[in-house]
Amino acid sequence: MAIIGLTWGVGPLFFVAIVAGIVITGVRRNFQPRFLRYLVGLVLCTTSYLAALIAFFAVDGFSPDWFSIRPSANLVHFGIDVWLGLIAAGAVGASGIALFAALLTRRWSNALLLRLMAAGLLTISVTFIVNLPFHNSWSFLGILLPLGSALFCWLVGAEILRTREAERDEAGHVWRQQ
């Protein structure tokens, strides 16, 4: 039940954070996707987190058989199987969020995808370090989800700003050439 809550809670929450950031920072004045883009973005964020969760459970569950490693007793013990599952989930989530950013900006960015994947690895590493002395679900999920979402939001926001500035520069360049 908690997994379903995470899936259907984290994706929409991430979407709301991005939209709130767009409104709060004033980017909205120069950046106005249509309502349909926002709706598709909400669905994309939610399904991205669902796909990431499925990737996590698939890799976490099968990796002990694939690599002949001992499975973790539970999630918070953070064995190699959990690391691999989180890396897979991070890659899937980063891909979905990069697609969400492309939907908003109308431009795909390989650089953003790489930054999101790096942020995922950083989040996993910090979660591992913080969880070492505690080994409980709150130290695990309490770091993983907020830190990962914050880094992803920051990177998507920076991408939106970078895209808007590039468009403004291109428009100015075209105007100067005429």
Q: Read off the pLDDT of residues 65-108 as tens digits, 9 standing for 90 and up.
A: 999 998 888 877 888 999 999 999 999 999 999 999 999 888 99
pTM for this model (two decimals):
0.85
Mean predicted lDDT score pLDDT of the chain: 85
Q: Map out the domains of the chain as residue ranges.
A: 2-167
Query: Which residues have CB under 8 Å from 7's CB, separation 6+?
Result: 46, 49, 50, 53
- The confidence score (pLDDT) of residue 36 equals 87
Residue type, 46: T
- The confidence score (pLDDT) of residue 34 equals 80
Tokens of 55: 């990737």
